[in-house]
Structure 1
Amino acid sequence: MDIWVRIGVVLLLVAGLALPAGAFTADRLDMVIDENGAAIVTFDYTLSWIERIAVFFKIADPSDEFKKALETFSGQSVESVALDDHAASFRVEHFAKISRSGNETTYTTPAIDLRDAEQALNSYWFAPLVQADFSPAVTTVTFPDGSVETLENVAEIPKVSRTLAATP
């Protein structure tokens, strides 16, 4: 019987080594700015099976990490609007800084460095099992006039400014 236990242990080890590494993928980041500078920020992501387990057991939650990053970079409190296992949406008051000159209004969003979320991930026990990509495939910033700034595969999202003429 002892030999069967050893064979079972070896088979479990081999199976564990054969499992694919998990991957966290940032799919899309959308920031929609209103005329007062508030924003609805939506972060779409894909979780690996390891991360789904971690979220289920409340060990790690990417939406919490993203919320912390938003609070850090915007300097504002962040309200959760909608959460599920693939996306998180937040409302951030005064997200974009507003400056006015004559009949023009300039909106400037804060720079956001998503690499900080990667550092947070590294503190979890499952970090060696996960290959994380915190660069959203597409990042959009939509301004009050409907104009859109688009970035692709960028983890360090720079400040984005747009000057709009006042509408009569």
Structure 2
Amino acid sequence: MNSTLRFLAVLCLISVIAAPASAFTADSLSINVLENGDATVTFSYSLGWAEKFAVFFRIADPANELKNALESNFGKEVSVQEVTDNSAAFMVSEYAHLSDGEHGVTYTTPAISFASAEKILSGYWFAPLIAVDLSPAETTVAFPDGYAENFYDAIDIPKISHTISIA
């Protein structure tokens, strides 16, 4: 009996040591700028087993954390539109600055950086247990006329200015 318990204890220890680190991975970020300068922001992500466990038991709320990060980053009002197991959609009021010119309306979006969020997360006690990649595999910023800019695996998204001609 004693050897069976010892064997089970060693087996449990090996499984914990061999278990892969859990992960939060940003799959995509889609920012659709509306004609009035507001934007719909959709963030798609993958959760590892530990994050799914935390969400299930209401220890963590990815949508609320993302909402707070967006409000902090943009200094704008953000409302949660939809949340699924692997995505969250938001409405950001006055996301783009609009300026009228002789050639049309220029939309200027703010720069976005995920570096500070990764740094903040690395300070938590559970940081060694998870791998966090907040740089989306693909980021798309789209404007009302269909023009879009794409960024791949970028931790920083620059400010973008785009003019829509008056017809």
TM-score using structure 1 length: 0.91
Point out the more displaced range, 104-113 or 86-95. 104-113
State how many pairs are aligned. 167
Residue aligning to 1:16: 16
* Paired AA for residue 12 in structure 1: C
Q: What is the CA deviation profile of residues 35-94 of structure 1, one whole-angstrom value per residue up to 9, with x for unaligned ones?
A: 110000000011111111111122223322221221112211100000011000000110
2-side partners of 1:152 and 1:137: how far apart? Answer: 5
Q: CA RMSD in A?
A: 1.7
Q: What is the CA deviation profile of residues 96-128 of structure 1, one whole-angstrom value per residue up to 9, with x for unaligned ones?
A: 111112242111111111123323433544321
Residue aligning to 1:138: 138
2-side partners of 1:23 and 1:95: how far apart? Answer: 30
Residue aligning to 1:114: 114
Structure 1 residue ranges (4+ consecutive) displaced by more than 6 angstroms after TM superposition: none
- CA apart distance, 1:4: 4.0
Residue aligning to 1:27: 27
**How do 1:18-167 and structure 2 match up within 5 A?**
18-167=18-167
Point out the more displaced range, 34-43 or 101-110. 101-110
Identity %: 47
1-side partners of 2:58 and 2:18: how far apart? Answer: 26
**Contiguous gaps of at least 5 residues in structure 1:** none
Tell whether the 8 Å contact from 1:73 to 1:110 is kept in structure 2 after alignment: no
2-side partners of 1:50 and 1:154: how far apart? Answer: 25
2-side partners of 1:58 and 1:97: how far apart? Answer: 36
**Contiguous gaps of at least 5 residues in structure 2:** none
TM-score using structure 2 length: 0.91
